[in-house]
Amino acid sequence: METETSTKAFDLKECLGCMEQTFTKKFGREFQFDNMEAIFDGLKGTSNPLTIGMVKRLTSRKYWIFEDYWLVPSLWKLWKDLKKTRGLFKELPDKEQIATEVLYDIFKNIEVASIILRFIDPQNFGIISPPVRYALRQSAKETYVEEYLDYLSTLRSYAAEYGFDRVADADMSLWALMENCVIPGNSSCDNFRGFQKKRVDVEEEYIKKSLLFKGLEDEILSMAAEDVEKKVKALKEERDRIRKELDDLQFKLRIYPVDLIMLKESPLPAEEKFIHDRREQYIDSGQELFLNQLVKNPHIHKVIWSENITSKPPTRISHVEDSGELTILYVTKNNYAAKIKALSCDCPDGTHAKYFASLISDYMQIPNMS
């Protein structure tokens, strides 16, 4: 199957167009982020501090639903603490860590700190929220400030990848994507399906490059033993090139959430999944163990074996149908092979089929060479 890794298959900016409608549907009121940005206009690049008036407008129901989700300290405490913000926003985003730490110390909530930074400087900041944080697969850090800075780093990667002028717009687009498509499990949106395809294609290319890299490593070791200096040098240069490509692909895998693609699990118990017409004998004792392991995978619905052929190693996935049918060749060292069909429970398109193949490849530790 051909691999297409261009982001043309998916445009995250299209999701920004869904933001207002999604916000209104979820919260029952209009989206007024432009007005929110106007409240904090003029703070970035100046020594001006946050004021109580700004905080009161931020929390007002006139603009959005702040009070339904967050609390702020008393006005008396804020009156004293907001003095600490004088000069805090003069060198954003360069001194973002200090700004985040001070705001978190004042408001005792990293989401509130992120909201303020996002409205002060939407070019460089976004709001940390559970839906987007889940999508980005953000791991826990020692402090909430570290988690937010890590979150920003990933958001900025998305903004750069898809050509957003503002990090806040990439953040809103991801939020709309999560609320509209990922959480409901809706794959009817062509743009969303493009995102799914992108994730699977990058992973498929990563697996193929990994196999190529391992082959080069093995060849270098064997050549080094023979001390063929020029050949070893050329192989090392090729290996280093592949390693860089793997690093790039691994970075892309980190910014494409795997949970955007979901497959149904089979309702059948393992013993009811295997179909064999008994016309062929097991080619070796390992084949029976292989099949027993295969049917235990929850995404496998049926395993069909009725043919033995000759084939060279390795044991592999040799073909993937868009319907979710995999052809697996279990191969012995004597070049005997059992041709096995593995079927998914439900596979709506080729993207899900490729994802299914990737899951089985990883589960059985066999390469996908389709």
Q: DSSP secondary structure string, 73-110? A: --HHHHHHHGGGGTTTTTTTTTTHHHHHHHHHHHHS-H
In a domain, 247, yes or no: yes
- The answer to whether residues 274 and 218 belong to one domain is no
What CA–CA distance (Å, rounded) separates 329 from 317?
A: 6
- The answer to whether residues 299 and 225 belong to one domain is no
Token duo for residue 76: 């008396």
The terminus-to-terminus CA distance of the chain in angstroms comes to 6
Q: Which of 200, 158, 202 is nearest to 177 (CA)?
A: 158
Residue indicated by tokens 């990883």: 362
307-319: per-residue pLDDT in tens? 888 888 889 999 9
In a domain, 1, yes or no: no
State yes or no: pLDDT of 352 exceeds 90.
Answer: no
Look up the domain containing 141 and give its range: 7-182
Residue type (1 letter), 26:
K
The CA angle 268-270-271, to the nearest 5 degrees, is: 100
Cα–Cα distances (Å) from 107 to 4, 48, 73, 113, 178, in that order, read 46, 18, 6, 7, 27
**Count of CB atoms within 10 A of residue 360's CB?**
21
What CA–CA distance (Å, rounded) separates 181 from 187?
A: 7
The answer to whether the CB of 238 falls within 8 A of the CB of 246 is no
In a domain, 265, yes or no: no
* Of the residues 260, 294, 320, the one at which a domain ends: 260
What CA–CA distance (Å, rounded) separates 55 from 78?
A: 9
- The answer to whether residues 92 and 25 belong to one domain is yes
- The answer to whether residues 54 and 175 belong to one domain is yes
In a domain, 325, yes or no: yes
For residues 274 and 281, the model is more confident at 274
- The answer to whether residues 29 and 74 belong to one domain is yes
Helix (H) or strand (E) holding 349: none
The answer to whether the CB of 328 falls within 8 A of the CB of 316 is yes
- The answer to whether residues 194 and 175 belong to one domain is no
* Of the residues 233, 260, 287, the one at which a domain ends: 260
State yes or no: pLDDT of 295 exceeds 70.
Answer: yes
- The answer to whether residues 176 and 325 belong to one domain is no
State yes or no: pLDDT of 122 exceeds 80.
Answer: yes
For residue 319, the model assigns a pLDDT of 92
**Count of CB atoms within 10 A of residue 230's CB?**
8
In a domain, 370, yes or no: no
Average confidence (pLDDT) over 86-93: 94
- The answer to whether residues 220 and 301 belong to one domain is no
32-72: per-residue pLDDT in tens? 888 889 999 889 999 999 999 999 999 988 888 888 889 99
What CA–CA distance (Å, rounded) separates 275 from 183?
A: 36
- The answer to whether residues 72 and 177 belong to one domain is yes
- The answer to whether residues 278 and 253 belong to one domain is no
Q: Which one of 164-168, 193-197, 281-285 scores highest in mean pLDDT? A: 164-168
In a domain, 211, yes or no: yes
| No. of helices (H) and no. of strands (E), the chain | 14, 5
The answer to whether the CB of 207 falls within 8 A of the CB of 249 is no
Residue indicated by tokens 């995250």: 12
- The answer to whether residues 102 and 251 belong to one domain is no
Helix (H) or strand (E) holding 317: strand 316-320
- The answer to whether residues 202 and 176 belong to one domain is no
In a domain, 2, yes or no: no
What is the average pLDDT score of the chain? 84
* Of the residues 150, 182, 214, the one at which a domain ends: 182
Task: Go through the chain and tell me how many residues it has.
Answer: 370
Q: Mark residue 44 as left, alpha or beta (left: phi above 0; alpha: psi -120 to 50; beta: remaining).
A: beta
For residues 214 and 19, the model is more confident at 19
What CA–CA distance (Å, rounded) separates 192 from 175?
A: 13
pTM: 0.63
In a domain, 369, yes or no: no
Distant-in-sequence, close-in-space partners of 39: CB < 8 Å, separation ≥ 6: 54, 57, 58, 119
- Counting the structural domains of the chain, the total is 3
Spell out a b/e string for 54-74, using b for 16 or more CB atoms within 10 Å of the CB, else e: bbebbbeeebbebeeeeebbe
